[in-house]
Amino acid sequence: MPRTLAVCILLMLPVLLLAVWGFRLSGFGAGALYFVVWWTLLFAVLPFRAAPDGTEVIVPGQDLGAPPRPQMRRKAVWTTLVSDVVFIAAVAAFPLAGL
């Protein structure tokens, strides 16, 4: 888990620095906006590859709708990569909207 967090932070920092220095957002504003984008996209990424393929052993008491291998590390990294793109697009659109 700490390695995944470190990878996500390393992928996120250049984008936040670009928003603060390139687009003149405050550090807190850039971090808050990135968090909202990341959290929203996490719920969009969670269902990908979540369907059980039928080859996994189901543990007694496990919910049948729960994926046998949720692959949260992979989903966290993908969420960060997609969030980088969406965040930069949103920040770049701010001047067009007069914000």
What is the distance between the terminal CA atoms of the chain, rounded to a whole angstrom? 37
Contact 16, 31 (CB under 8 A): yes
**Are 20 and 26 within 8 A, CB to CB?**
yes
Range of the domain at 24: 1-47+71-97
76 Rama class: left (phi>0) / alpha (psi -120 to 50) / beta = alpha
10 occurs within a structural domain? yes
Residue 52 lies in a domain: no
**8 part of a folded domain:** yes
| Within a domain: 14 | yes
Is the entire prediction scored with pTM above 0.75? yes
Nearest CA-CA partner of 79 in 2, 3, 1, 7: 7
30 in a structural domain:
yes
β strands within the chain, DSSP E: none
Note whether residue 61 is domain-resident.
no
Taking the C-alpha atoms of residue 51 and residue 98, their distance in angstroms, rounded to an integer, is 43
pLDDT digit string, tens, across residues 8-47: 999 999 999 999 999 889 999 999 999 999 999 999 998 8
For residue 54, tell me if it sits in a domain: no
Q: How many domains does the chain have?
A: 1
pLDDT of 54-89, one tens digit each?
656 677 777 777 777 778 899 999 999 999 999 999
18 falls within a domain = yes
